[in-house]
Structure 1
Amino acid sequence: MPVGERAGRRTQQERREYTGSALLTAAADLVVESGVRALTLARVGERAGYSRGIVTHHFGSKRALLDALARATQSGFVPGLADTAPGLERLLLLVRGYVGALGDLGPMNRAFLLLWAEAVTDPELSETFRERDHRFRADLRSDVEAGVESGSVRSDVDPDEVAVALLGQLRGIALQVLLDPDAVDTRRLAPVVAEQWRRVLETGAGEV
């Protein structure tokens, strides 16, 4: 089927999804280039080739646009997780994948990290990113709990403490990459960080 004919047969839902994706991509590009304070609905529409009215129709407000951007940029950051059972190996896969992916950040994920850093001092963003980090910690905690249950993770570790410490490390490495990319060799660092957590968590580690 010719491409033009196929495009002409898009359903209303498909057209809406296509437009929404284009607007989020434009928003991410603008955040990376100019920062969140310079982001406006009008600039997003112009960058994506649409009117401001289209952006307002899709998202309603700048806050809603940023919420959608945060959700879109974080999904799929580490491939393969959905196909891996919860537990220690999934946790280590996440660590290796997250740190490794920092070496080749696309605009969407770079925008997420920039927005996350901005959320520390911006009330407009803080609620959104508190929620995102809460979910991230919950995912980490569930992997630790599954590992304890299966016997691959030490029974004396606190899943909540591990989740806080691990998220802090991952976000801290990400900020270093944003500030000084040449100072962090993420390809070499990824397996090192994963192995450190294996030694901390694996059954038998630190036991007498």
Structure 2
Amino acid sequence: MAATHSALCKRGYAELTMQDIADESELSKSALHYHFDGKHDLLVSFLEHLLDRFEERIAAPDGEDPAERLHSLVDTMVTPPEPRSDGFQTALLEIQAQAPHDEDYRERLERFDEAFVSRLRSLVAAGVEDGTFRADVDPDEAASLLATYLKGVQMRHVAAGHSLERSAAVIHRHIDERLVAGETTVVTLE
């Protein structure tokens, strides 16, 4: 999977070939074809691998209370898992663009979305339950909105170079102003 990652970063989705992946690995192209029917099959397996890594990344955000954990999760989502991952983020966006036309990609990407929204929902619900968040906050609506914000932040960063830090500050401010009960500390834009 490391070879697939490396080849995707270098070539992008549209230009990626099995030979590119073989060149990044210790396997021959024929050995790759022994394990995978083709580029599509390999990329579906790669998405499965990414989903496992993603679920590990979001499983236990740092923090003493649900608000801190939610802020930590926002920071996790706007911080690339590896430095200089712009090429990979671009390739992943290209794969996402194929999802409306490819059921296998769409199914895997839906699982990413479900895992992410579920994690957000559980943090918001815990905050409502323990009084960290306002009692009138709907965990489903808040999770859906935050997921949409965060996905938009990532897409705008990759596609148009928008600042992750500035966008994250807006989301942090939304959490503090709209979700947190009582007195809040507002994150300001610099």
Q: TM-score, normalised by structure 2?
A: 0.75
Counterpart pick for 1:168 among 148, 156, 162: 148
Per-residue deviation, 1:78: 9.5
Q: 3-state DSSP class of the match of 1:112? A: helix
Sort the Cα spacing of 1:198 and 1:61 in 2 relative to 1 into closer, same or farther, 3 A: farther
- Say which of 168, 171, 186 aligns to 1:193: 171
TM-score, structure 1 as length reference? 0.69
Separation in 1, partners of 2:138, 2:58: 26
Is residue 2:85 matched to residue 1:94? no
Residue aligning to 2:118: 138
Gaps of 5+ in 1: 1-23
Query: Who wins on radius of gyration, i.e. which is larger?
Result: 1
Percent of aligned pairs with the same amino acid: 28
Distance change (3 Å), C-alpha of 1:84 and 1:198: same
Pick which of 42-51 and 145-154 moved more: 42-51
Structure 2 portions without partners, runs of 5+: 184-190
Of 179, 183, 186, the match for 2:159: 179
Matched positions, count = 180
**Residue 40 of structure 1 contacts residue 62 of structure 1 at CA under 8 Å; is this kept in 2?**
yes
Q: Which runs of 4+ in 1 moved over 4 A?
A: 57-61, 76-81, 102-105, 107-110
Q: What's the Cα RMSD here?
A: 3.2
Comparing 56-65 and 188-197, the one that deviates more: 56-65
Q: Are the equivalent residues in 1 in contact too, given 2:61–2:70 (CA < 8 A)?
A: no
